Amino acid sequence: MQTKCEIQQTADTLQTLKSERTPRIFTDFIHGRWPLKYGNTVIKQKGSMIAEAGTPVSECWYVFSGQLVTYGYSSSGEKRVWGIYRKGSVVFASECLNRQNTDVFCEASVKTTLIQIPFSELKTAFDSNFSVSGQLMKMISAEYAAYFSFTRDLCTKSAFRRVCDILADLSSVFGEEEPGRTMISYRLSQQSFADFAGINRVTLVRILKELREKNVIEVVNGYYAIKDMRAILF
Amino acid sequence: MQTKCEIQQTADTLQTLKSERTPRIFTDFIHGRWPLKYGNTVIKQKGSMIAEAGTPVSECWYVFSGQLVTYGYSSSGEKRVWGIYRKGSVVFASECLNRQNTDVFCEASVKTTLIQIPFSELKTAFDSNFSVSGQLMKMISAEYAAYFSFTRDLCTKSAFRRVCDILADLSSVFGEEEPGRTMISYRLSQQSFADFAGINRVTLVRILKELREKNVIEVVNGYYAIKDMRAILF
């Protein structure tokens, strides 16, 4: 048992090192101009609702610019952020292709330009253009990988490790090397950060304080910077 | 907030009623004979390893008969079952198409007949046959939906509710109507059941005892039977 456990831990470490984990901030998955060819451009103001949980999905949305957030509510009524969709990602493709209801609420968290692709056009594109099916498969696989690793991490890792993993994930997507630190050029709200780690904000603040005190991270104008990547990864 | 919460709860309930949730026992997603056309038949004895976590995936596996189980280990070395793949499902399609390492261990939990499809053949099939890409998309979407709902339920539902949901899921796939009860014609091990609910076996046993005492379920020759579906769903 221990040997397999060690294999697993080594695998986990290697994987983190290679930044193969998919954060729940989805970006840059869909390339080319096909969403423009098939859909209609729609501009949504900050706070506009895109979909409500429990309703049928009759279209998917390609994020041209801006940001969509999917969320739900806990039984005590607290909002929980599930995923963030930025430029070059598609939300509700899987639900739309499979004619399912959505599980989540979705809204624009900033002014956002979307390409709205109705089911009939998405289905046509998926069934006639291998570039489309390949790119959608990559996007849905990324969502699958992100939720699988979140599930696994909730069951197997400490809150402290999960926070470090999110910082590693963010730096793999948004990291910019500077002398002595890696700046994360994306401002993740504390609420989303806590939700992504599966902890409450109080716990998050305590862990971030500990990381700052140990000189592992610093916060620069509201952005996180990693000063000791080794400590984040191990 | 409360209104949205109520909407969410109604949506959840409706969804459970309509059995739209995907349990983590995957079955009957891939139809037709294409895996036979593309791959090679391989018979694996009970306990044979198919893949080790942290290694590259160079092939996917179609389950012709039998059962594959994916699993990992917690940091304290406990085995955790993530998913069960039965006839007509494919394991590692997403990792294979996207040239990723696997996150999980995978083994045959009974004598299992598989179709082994190497990357090159899977890629060719995906890029030239819309029936293949459509069916693989459906399979990967199901995995995505299963892990998303597990993630959400871990964050938002009680252990008791999660156990009831798994019984509802099982009955939607394996339920057979009998006078006064729905028999679940699949024997799920207590360990897998506990892992699927994100609880330990002691908690699971306590909850199942409570459900039996309230006459909501009964156990017949090791199989679960639901006597009060309303109590399971609400």
Using DSSP's 3-state secondary structure scheme, residue B130 falls into helix
pLDDT of residue A41: 96
Q: Is the domain of A161 the same as that of A145? A: no
**Torsions phi, psi for A96 (to 5 deg):** -65, -50
Write the single-letter amino acid at B189.
S
Closest partner CB to A1 (pick from B1, B77, B152) = B77
End-to-end Cα distance, chain B: 22
- Please indicate whether residue B19 or residue A182 has the higher confidence score (pLDDT): A182
Q: Is B65 on the interface with A (CB under 8 A)?
A: no
Q: Do A54 and B1 touch (CB under 8 A)?
A: no
Using DSSP's 3-state secondary structure scheme, residue B158 falls into coil
Whether pLDDT at B191 is above 60? yes
Q: Is A113 exposed, middle or buried (0-12, 13-18, 19+ CB in 10 A)?
A: middle
Say how far apart CA A150 and CA A171 lie, in whole Å: 17
Residue B83 corresponds to which tokens in the numbers above?
């998913």
Q: What is the mean pLDDT of residues A4-31?
A: 61
Strands (E), A13-96: 25-26, 40-44, 49-51, 59-65, 67-73, 79-86, 90-91
- Count how many domains chain B has: 2
Among the candidates B112, B132, B152, a domain finishes at B152
Residue B20 lies in a domain: no
pLDDT tens digits, B39-88: 999 999 999 999 999 899 999 999 999 999 999 988 788 899 999 999 99
Task: Say if strands A79-86 and A25-26 run parallel, antiparallel, or are unpaired.
Answer: parallel
Q: Do A152 and B82 touch (CB under 8 A)?
A: yes
Residue A102 lies in a domain: yes
Using pLDDT thresholds of 50, 70 and 90, give the confidence band for residue B14: very low
Taking each helix axis from N to C terminus, what angle separates B159-174 and B130-156, rounded to the nearest 10 degrees?
150
Among the candidates B129, B152, B175, a domain finishes at B152
Q: In which element (H, E) is residue B126 found?
A: helix B119-128
pLDDT of residue B77: 85
| Mean pLDDT over the full length of chain A | 88
Q: Is the domain of B114 the same as that of B50? A: yes
Q: Is the domain of A124 the same as that of A186? A: no
Residue B133 lies in a domain: yes
- B155 interaction partners in chain A (CB closer than 8 Å): 74, 80, 195, 198
Neighbours of A104 (CB within 10 A): 24
Whether pLDDT at B164 is above 80? yes
pLDDT of residue B21: 65
Write the single-letter amino acid at B109.
S
Among the candidates A118, A152, A186, a domain finishes at A152
Contact B111, B121 (CB under 8 A): no
Say how far apart CA A61 and CA B43 lie, in whole Å: 43
User: Which residues lie across from B19 on neighbouring strands?
Assistant: none
Q: Is A151 exposed, middle or buried (0-12, 13-18, 19+ CB in 10 A)?
A: buried
- What is the ipTM metric for this complex? 0.77
Q: Is the domain of A147 the same as that of A162? A: no
pLDDT of residue A20: 54
Q: Is the domain of B53 the same as that of B70? A: yes
CATH of the domain at B164: 1.10.10.10
Residue A25 corresponds to which tokens in the numbers above?
């901030």
Residue B226 lies in domain:
157-233
CATH of the domain at A108: 2.60.120.10
User: Which residues lie across from A90 on neighbouring strands?
Assistant: A62
Residue B52 lies in a domain: yes
CB pairs under 8 A between A and B: 182
- B158 interaction partners in chain A (CB closer than 8 Å): 75
